[in-house]
Amino acid sequence: MLLEPLLIAELALLGLCTGFLAGLLGIGGGMLMVPFVTFIMSGRGVAPDLAVKMAIATSMATIVFTSISSVRAHHRRGAVQWRIVRNLAPGIVLGAAVASLGAFALLKGAWLALLFAAFVGFSATQMLIDAKPAPTRTMPATAGQWASGGVIGFLSGLVGAGGGFVSVPFMTWCNVPIHQAVATSAALGFPIALANGLGYVVSGQSVQGLPAGALGYVFVPALVVLATASVLMAPLGVRAAHALPVKQLKRVFAMLLYALAAYMLYKGLSSL
């Protein structure tokens, strides 16, 4: 599958949008990329089941680059809680490896799409209702954060998102301020994306029917365009994130998640 000019333009526009949202919401951009890349690849002859898997893998690989750009901008504002990053990262890497090397290859693309819709919809609801955590609740001890990281890494590996759809609600539930939760989630996107991206490359080596330019499940030409565009826009999203009030930021997050969940629910049900 060649990158004709129209496809390059579509991917570049998608990369600009996801880069901005990665900085704004700390989600890595994967939750926006997966539905659109699925649509783009399905429309160009890739089998529906394989299109979902390649979209997940390609979007996750893009997050490796987007997260670096986003977290640098957040770090300059002093918003990243690096202690939380250090405590969650070991579990994240382990959970991501289990997902990308094992469960991802075994599950059908339709079931991955349904899982994506379910977890994203749950995260949207948590943000929209703005449930107030108990004022005494804090982040769990180190062992608890390792376990939480494992869940975040595993779920991210199944649905191709940077983990913000789980980690941001989790941290706000533990009374981490929303702007710090978004910034810390951006930092967590790098180990999530790197571990899962390598897993997708390895687990997709023996898959039949991959288009030209694929490295395992990762479609490299699309990765180059998406990553370039998203890295350029992530710092602008960070600037917007620190300018928006907390309630408005949560509302934007929730509405985006509901729209993406609805699309992937449709894709999953139509592929069964």
Q: Report pLDDT for 160.
A: 65
* % of the chain residues with pLDDT over 70: 88
Whether residue 158 contacts residue 135, with contact meaning beta carbons closer than 8 Å, is answered with: no
Q: Report pLDDT for 2.
A: 59
Reply yes or no on whether the pLDDT at 131 is more than 70. Answer: no
Dihedral angle at the C-alpha atoms of 250, 251, 253, 256, nearest 10 degrees? 170
pTM attached to this predicted model: 0.74
Ranking 22-31, 154-163, 224-233 by mean pLDDT, the lowest is: 22-31
Ranking 26-30, 59-63, 134-138, 199-203 by mean pLDDT, the lowest is: 26-30
For 146-151, the CB contacts below 8 A with 24+ separation are: 146/87, 146/88, 146/90, 146/91, 147/91, 148/88, 148/91, 149/87, 149/88, 149/89, 149/90, 149/91, 149/92, 149/94, 149/95, 150/91, 150/92, 150/94, 150/95, 151/91, 151/95
Whether residue 204 contacts residue 57, with contact meaning beta carbons closer than 8 Å, is answered with: yes
For the chain, the residue count is 272
Hey, where are the domains in the chain? 5-265
More confident call, 208 vs 30:
208
Whether residue 91 contacts residue 152, with contact meaning beta carbons closer than 8 Å, is answered with: yes
Averaged pLDDT, 86-114 = 82
Q: Report pLDDT for 88.
A: 92
pLDDT in tens, 34-54: 888 888 888 878 887 888 889
- Cα angle 18-21-26, degrees, rounded to a multiple of 5: 115
pLDDT in tens, 144-156: 999 998 988 888 7
pLDDT in tens, 209-233: 888 888 999 999 889 999 898 888 8
